[in-house]
Structure 1
């Protein structure tokens, strides 16, 4: 198929049809601006996801965790002198977490969040107040049993023990964390 050139009559008709058309002045080409994504608190989302991933497991039966009045946990290899200082309350408390009024799931999330913050801030010794259970339905220290179990699962926990009476007695514990981040 060959192309046919327009004749004079067709060219004249075309010129009449476009006689009122004016050339637009060319503007510099611009890329269309993409709408920027709305700001998201990505680090907070990552932290919250990490909290969910790191939730501590609960014991199968909390009754099996019944402890005496005082709590004591020490990782093997820890210096006896350091444990003695912890038990006497001679180490400076750098942070504190109070679990009063929290339910088990809330308390577990609070403990995980607290320990992560302590690790990030290179905190060495903390106090966790779990209460004595006077406000619980069973009138026994439910959170105390869970905290005892949860802390033993964390590698950064070197030792913990019940606090001195002036710092909460059997309703609180001193916790010694590993050095570093």
Structure 2
């Protein structure tokens, strides 16, 4: 007794769509692109308006709607004042200075995710201020982390973790550190 597998036949619309997709990829060695299917004749009920499309096969489709990224917000003034006056403490601290850029980036990501998982709302990220560079050297750029950490915090993949950030007050490192507000983890009470 042999078992036959049933395969559903593709509709002409599905064939046209697949042909459109296949034309935009490089075929594997020894393979060729599928043949463009002929459009099926439909019974005429009413005249269909002609749509000029960018592609000869498919009418232009609206771009897929991506969920909007939540905007970054500054740390509240009251929170900053409480931190400066010593009435409020940060929940956790990471010190990145002295690390190489890639190492610091991964350390920051791990730290932020762990802090969010622990329910922390405000953390301190120390980048260091960057010392004076010796002129004339090929790689004499200093303060790389001070510039890069704010850039990393603005990236779309951290928007679900970071609400916003501000330069720290002098007692917490001033321009060499950042206060970072974290979002509550989804599903956390």
Shift of the 163–89 alpha-carbon distance from structure 1 to 2, 3 Å rule, reads farther
Higher Cα radius of gyration: 1
Q: Deviations over 1:86-129 (max 9, x none)?
A: 43353530000000210000000100110110111111100000
Q: State the distance in 2 between where 1:89 and 1:106 align.
A: 32
Give runs of ≥4 in structure 1 deviating > 4 Å. Answer: none
Aligned length: 105
The aligned residue for residue 101 of structure 1 is: 98
Distance in 2 of aligned mates of 1:122 and 1:163: 21
Point out where structure 1 has 5 or more consecutive residues left out of the alignment.
1-73
Is the CA contact 1:95–1:126 (under 8 Å) kept in the aligned structure 2? yes
Deviation digits for residues 37-88 of structure 1, max 9, x if unmatched? xxxxxxxxxxxxxxxxxxxxxxxxxxxxxxxxxxxxx935x5x7x5213433
Q: TM-score, normalised by structure 1?
A: 0.52
Highest RCO, 1 vs 2 (Cα 8 Å, sep ≥ 6): 1
Is 1:75 the counterpart of 2:71 in the alignment?
yes
C-alpha distance in 1 between matches for 2:89 and 2:101:
28
Is 1:88 aligned with 2:75?
no
Task: For 2:184 and 2:154, locate their aligned partners in 1 and report how far apart those are by CA, in whole Å.
Answer: 17
Once residues 89 and 170 of structure 1 are traced to their aligned partners in structure 2, the CA distance between those partners, rounded to angstroms, is: 18
Task: Name the structure with the higher helix share.
Answer: 1
What are structure 2's unaligned runs of at least 5 residues? 1-69, 134-138
Note closer, same or farther for the CA distance 1:96–1:174 as it changes in structure 2 (3 Å cut): same
TM-score by length of 2: 0.50
> Partner of 2:118 in structure 1?
121
